[in-house]
Structure 1
Amino acid sequence: MKGSFLRLCEIYETVEKLSSRNETIESMAEYLKELSPEDLRIAVKLSTINFRETLNVSWTTLSEALKGLYKLADADLYKAFNETGDIGSAIKSILEFRSLSRQTLLLTKPLTLEELNLLLREISKAEGSGSKYKKLKVLKGLFSKASPLEAKYLTRIILGDLRIGVKEGIIAKALSEAFHIPYKALERALMLSGDLAETAVLAKTHGLNGILNVKYIPFNPIKPMLAGMAYSIKEVIDEFKDRAAFEHKIDGARVQIHVFNGKVKVFSRGLKDVTSSLPEIVDIVKEETKLKDCVVEGEVIAVDFNGKPLPFQELMHRFKRLRGIEEEARKLPVKLYLFDVLVAEGSLMIDEPYITRRNYLIHRVESIPIVDCLITQNLEEAEDFYRRALEAGHEGVVAKRLDSVYHPGVRGREWLKVKGTLDALDLVIVGGEYGYGRRYKWISDYFLAALDPALENFTVIGKTFKGLTDAEFENLTKILENDVVKREGRRVWVKPRIVVEVIYNEIQKSRRYPSGFALRFARIARIRWDKNVEEADTIDKVRGIYLKQFERKSSIS
């Protein structure tokens, strides 16, 4: 019997209410082990893939389909969304309130996982002229077969967020439990294959032997190992208690470069193929005659014509460019620095210690620079190296244990990054948006503004939802709701009354805000109840910090 989508939605509904990770794994395992291989493949994909990118269906398109099918007005959606804080739950609520005819649903065959998969594939293939019409037609047909519960999770799947706390790691644990496969073995097979759905089918059909026999597949990107955070060089020295490698942390884009059979592919940190955006990187890698059948990692940075690093923001223009790439390459050259090797001459290197991997790079790479490194346990030497890294325009350093193996997709304490910091800013909350999920009743995403003395007003330079506790969100919401001067859907603008201390990675030029600036990775460090808004930092200070960044980096005028 073919698996029904309704049954999967019932499992999702159960899992959404669980607070225990172990209970979630157990519930998913019980469900997954009963599926046929093909239904298992589909269920795993539905539970882990971000379909928003795959389907390329915007909320505008989806809402048009839903309003057309169910005869909904914008007011209906808005009211239900405000009551539930989630668009999937809002659709379910509307359909239940309207008592969607069970007789109507009984007249249609239950939606199977196989049928859903085929319809989603049909949506993903719709391109070019008339693609929106095709997508609307398929979406209406799909939702016409759905019960209120199915409509809830269909909406979430299409928009790319199940919102039930089930990620790839949870599903991998559930598969391990369902098919009695040691988790470490399954995790390694997943890393080698790069496809959790196919790994799941292999576990079901061939058991442990099949999982142990998985080999690395060329051009399959490997999830990057991630560094933990340290706040000083002394913290690193005290924690490692041994000699460590301190590498420059370059303010660029991390890339993974695959070289097999004379062909080169470049993948981004998010494992997207960006080969076509970086033709000069492909060319210089091909010139490295000793780099064969390998996977290496590095950082790509944008540089000026004197070779001085440019801000990360400039580099992103290259990654987003789809046309005129050769012209852009002439206008905005890039440089590659290598720092690790994951596959060498067809063999995995991830279980080798860091120092072995680095030495391999040193002896094999001839012309591509390798990230500068200092191996020491001496605090003064390490701090001097860190200072020089900042002076050279880099973000800071990454400290690595010499014996650390490479753990794909894991953020641990074997690697620790220490980054230079810019002055914190005291900014004023001038607006915000209500959140989603458990935050849907709180104003929890704040517009942050600096004082503009010339205009005797505040000008927005950033937005963040990070840094505060739930209790602080709740308290701020009570205050801000009394200060609302304008409402725009779930967005509100408020009287400037609350000052917050904000930390960030960088100040960038931006057309998003009238100020012309935007904070990168802004985070609220604390609420400054002791400060009046007149004491907030000015846009002149923001401009000064922005210019100060170029004491170490170049800029494009």
Structure 2
Amino acid sequence: MLFSELAELCGALGGTTKRKEKTRMLAGFLHRLEPEEIPSAILLIVGSVFPEFDPRALEVGWRTMRRVLEGGRQTTLIDEPLTITRVHRTLEEIAEATGPGSRRRKESLLEGLISRADPGEVEVLVRIVFGEMRIGVSEGMMLEGIAEASASSIKLVRRALMLTGDLGEVARIALEGGEEGLGRVSVRMFVPLKPMMATMSYNIAEALEEHGGRAAFEYKFDGARIQIHRRDDRIRVYSRRLTDVTESLPDVVDVVRGRIASEDAILEGEAVAVGGGGRPLPFQDLMRRFTRVHDIADMVEKIPLRLHFFDVLYLDGRLLVDEPYEARWRLLEGGCPEDLLAERLITGDAAEVEGFLKRALEEGHEGLMVKRLDGRDIPGVRGKGWLKVKPTETLDLVIVAADWGSGRRRGWLSNYHLAAGSEAGYMVIGKTFKGLTDEEFGWMTRRLQGLKARETETTVHVRPEVVVEVAFNEIQRSPRYRSGFALRFARVTRIREDKEPEDADTLGRVKELYDKQFQFKDRIIL
């Protein structure tokens, strides 16, 4: 199929906000693809070139793209139109270009695509290269399109993606084999499963009621989630984002090799960085371990990790995601030393849970995870089988700018630049597009446009008059902002129309909260 047809589809998808209409368009398009085109087309539409677990990256910067675009379209003797297959294969070649001369090679390959593309195709190519399609097609919506096109259960399609992590391959299986083909999909060792995700619960009584009055409560660690695959002597460690981080975490590999009984297993757990006093270090310090590629032994010594396993997804030839939580825990317990298991309490007594939560916080952790005793592990899905309960701090901050949204937020100013007051003026400490309803997005857009001081193509800078209450998980040191701080997982909890900008929190208050985090955590100086 011609790439121009995919570009036309992207234009049509971006032109409607109706979910059912998008799903119908996707299903119709998938029917027209040849089997060998399906994986490539699916990935390109969602702005990807590779499956999530594939470490390859294009590594094309905006300067390179600008040079190519400024070079313009060059007519060739054989000016064949682009096909989906050709575009995808060229993007693969760009990613695979490494070593001396690779930058020029990447640029040459990109020029070959751009020179044969019409303006509409160029726009889509640029969006694919930078992973910003802005057409309102999420992974979930694509799954619905695949289900409709293949007349398959959305549950089966979603399960296949959970087990393979490859959206394009799932589409091919569904369209060629239908539900029968999807039903044959199973776990692949050393291909990470998409992690099950939790929904926020704001009080313990609500969480107990949701789970039938009795549940398992585990510490919610201030760490990084990991998935470990082991078969015989081969061990690989994957991050929450399905990235292979084995080489950065040799100490984790040593623990698994030396202390886990099974040699054929997929385990899930949390890696927590600990300081000299044995207390957790901030998440920011932990990430230095996950991103380290040089002097790893030195970093292992400076920032040791403690493992806490909480689930087993596969064991000795058996896929366990359909087994209830209690059964999986018993299997985990049988092959994992007690000191490597997550701290856990099973109860229906809210007062007992409150004490357990207090203990978790005093030990430097984030809060609690609440899990249904009969719950299945559903990788890749955020549901109520797992809930998270944790106290949150809030700050009252002033909006000083906002970015125009994309996808379903197109037409709204919806990514807010959040600032605290200081002697030097308002200092940005983070951005967020989370927390508001559609009605509030509309109201906020009108309000901020009325306060516009200046504007660029993507951002409206405004007079500092709107105050919002912002919840967050953590305050981190950041060289990105002049304030020196950044909020982690910020979200607007309400618009404070009752407050004036001078009533908002100051940078001094931000510093106080930053320091308060170390009441139950360790600090490290590298």
TM over 0.5: yes
Q: CA deviation at 1:514?
A: 2.8
Show the counterpart of 1:255.
226
**1:432, 1:491 within 8 Å by CA — same for their partners in 2?**
yes
Show the counterpart of 2:483.
515
Q: CA deviation at 1:440?
A: 6.1
Q: CA deviation at 1:177?
A: 3.3
Q: CA deviation at 1:527?
A: 2.5
Distance in 2 separating the partners of 1:465 and 1:180: 35
Distance in 1 separating the partners of 2:59 and 2:375: 40
Distance in 2 separating the partners of 1:473 and 1:320: 36
**1:246, 1:397 within 8 Å by CA — same for their partners in 2?**
yes
Matched, 1:506 2:474: yes
User: What do residues 225-265 of structure 1 show as CA deviations (whole Å, max 9, x unaligned)?
Assistant: 11111101111122223310011100110010111121110
Show the counterpart of 1:5.
3
Identify if the C-alpha distance between structure 1 residues 218 and 303 changes in structure 2 by more than 3 Å, giving closer, same or farther. same
Q: Which of 5, 13, 16 lines up with 1:15 in the alignment? A: 13
Distance in 2 separating the partners of 1:290 and 1:62: 51
Q: Which of 355, 358, 370 lines up with 1:384 in the alignment? A: 355
Q: Which of 262, 265, 284 lines up with 1:313 in the alignment? A: 284
Show the counterpart of 1:41.
39
Q: CA deviation at 1:166?
A: 2.5
Show the counterpart of 1:161.
132
Identify if the C-alpha distance between structure 1 residues 189 and 511 changes in structure 2 by more than 3 Å, giving closer, same or farther. closer
Q: Which of 332, 342, 358 lines up with 1:361 in the alignment? A: 332
Identify if the C-alpha distance between structure 1 residues 184 and 450 changes in structure 2 by more than 3 Å, giving closer, same or farther. closer
Identify if the C-alpha distance between structure 1 residues 220 and 490 changes in structure 2 by more than 3 Å, giving closer, same or farther. closer
Identify if the C-alpha distance between structure 1 residues 430 and 190 changes in structure 2 by more than 3 Å, giving closer, same or farther. closer
Q: CA deviation at 1:216?
A: 2.2
Distance in 2 separating the partners of 1:441 and 1:23: 19
**2:475, 2:514 within 8 Å by CA — same for their partners in 1?**
yes
Distance in 2 separating the partners of 1:214 and 1:240: 30
Show the counterpart of 1:497.
465
Q: TM-score, normalised by structure 2?
A: 0.91
**1:390, 1:420 within 8 Å by CA — same for their partners in 2?**
no
Give runs of aligned pairs for residues 224-303 of structure 1, distance below 5 A: 224-303=195-274
SS in 2 for 1:258: strand
Matched, 1:137 2:108: yes
Show the counterpart of 1:50.
48
| Amino acid across the alignment from 1:515 | S
Identity of aligned residues (%): 45
SS in 2 for 1:357: helix
Show the counterpart of 1:88.
none
Matched, 1:218 2:221: no
Larger radius of gyration: 1
SS in 2 for 1:55: coil
Q: TM-score, normalised by structure 1?
A: 0.86
Between stretches 30-39 and 278-287, larger displacement belongs to 30-39
Distance in 1 separating the partners of 2:138 and 2:463: 39
Q: CA deviation at 1:18?
A: 3.9
| Amino acid across the alignment from 2:482 | P
Q: CA deviation at 1:348?
A: 0.3
Show the counterpart of 1:554.
522
Between stretches 293-302 and 240-249, larger displacement belongs to 240-249
Matched, 1:429 2:399: yes
Show the counterpart of 1:85.
none
**1:245, 1:401 within 8 Å by CA — same for their partners in 2?**
yes
SS in 1 for 2:72: helix
Distance in 1 separating the partners of 2:271 and 2:106: 37
Distance in 2 separating the partners of 1:503 and 1:269: 23
SS in 2 for 1:525: strand
User: What do residues 40-71 of structure 1 show as CA deviations (whole Å, max 9, x unaligned)?
Assistant: 23212323462497312223322221122259
Q: CA deviation at 1:127?
A: 1.9
Between stretches 107-116 and 295-304, larger displacement belongs to 107-116
**2:477, 2:484 within 8 Å by CA — same for their partners in 1?**
yes
| Amino acid across the alignment from 1:516 | G
Identify if the C-alpha distance between structure 1 residues 212 and 500 changes in structure 2 by more than 3 Å, giving closer, same or farther. closer
Q: CA deviation at 1:311?
A: 0.9
| Amino acid across the alignment from 1:529 | E
**1:105, 1:147 within 8 Å by CA — same for their partners in 2?**
no
Between stretches 521-530 and 318-327, larger displacement belongs to 521-530
Distance in 1 separating the partners of 2:350 and 2:307: 29
CA RMSD of aligned residues (A): 2.6
Q: CA deviation at 1:148?
A: 2.4
SS in 2 for 1:304: coil
Q: CA deviation at 1:187?
A: 3.4
Q: CA deviation at 1:175?
A: 3.1
Between stretches 316-325 and 157-166, larger displacement belongs to 157-166
Unaligned runs of 5+ in 1: 72-103
| Amino acid across the alignment from 1:462 | G
Show the counterpart of 2:510.
542
Give runs of aligned pairs for residues 313-462 of structure 1, distance below 5 A: 313-366=284-337, 369-422=340-393, 424-436=394-406, 442-452=412-422, 455=423, 457-462=425-430
SS in 2 for 1:503: strand
| Amino acid across the alignment from 1:25 | T
Distance in 1 separating the partners of 2:229 and 2:236: 5
SS in 1 for 2:100: coil
| Amino acid across the alignment from 1:264 | I
Between stretches 430-439 and 336-345, larger displacement belongs to 430-439
